[in-house]
Amino acid sequence: MAARTPGVTAPAARAQVEPTLDARIPDMRQRRALGIFRVLIAAIEVVALIGNYEYVLGFRFFATANFFSYFTIQSAMLAVATLGIAAAYALLAPSDPPWLGVLRTMVTAYLLVSGIVFALIVSQASTRDYRVDVPPTGKVTIGIECGPGCRGDLPIDTQLKQAPGGEWRQLKMPLHCFQSKGADLRNVTAPFLLTTAGKLELGIANVRLESGLNDTPSCD
């Protein structure tokens, strides 16, 4: 009886192992599909980043260092790197390590916070640019600085004196006007300078650059 024991128990052992191997095949397929999905999402984000970079290259005052200093850009680049790591684990490993889940949570929170802050900034951008609390008593100029000895200034004291006190208003100044006064828009070091020779109390809500405006004033 002892000599026949291996012949009886071996098939049972194989019967227990083979279903276990078959059960792992769907898990491997799911992991592979998850890895491919992560790669596709990362590729979409890379395309979006490249498109955004090419778009801002069209501005003459654009600086590459400024582009990579925005939290929205930094969070997107970090998300691409995290997705790449997660995709590699999904394609090559049976499961994700615990630290990867923590990293993905932190990056997701960073993305959400950056997006919310950016949305708040955009929602507050309106025609409420400045408010004169105390009219100027002397000359007031706004300017663009472009390095040592390079600057373009435009007078705005007339507009400020005519503005009703305490009322939010909008002031538009074409960039080519600063250029005509000596500013080099290819090498901007300070995009907004406000100077006065007298007293002035001014509230400023927005300073922004816009394109495609139809009602821009002349430089006179």
DSSP per position, 104-150: HHHHHHHHHHHHHHHHHHHHH-SS--EEEEE--SS-EEEEEE-STT-
Residue-wise pLDDT for 9-49, tens only, equals: 444 444 444 445 455 666 888 999 999 999 999 999 999 99
Report the 10 Å Cβ neighbour count for 213: 8
pLDDT at res. 214: 67
pLDDT at res. 208: 78
**pTM beyond 0.85, yes or no:** no
pLDDT at res. 25: 64
pLDDT at res. 8: 47
pLDDT at res. 71: 87
Whether the CB-CB separation of 204 and 169 falls below 8 Å is answered with no
Whether the CB-CB separation of 46 and 54 falls below 8 Å is answered with no
Domain ranges of the chain: 15-124, 130-204
Residues of the chain with pLDDT under 50: 1-3, 5, 8-19, 21
Query: How is residue 56 written in tokens?
Result: 């801002």
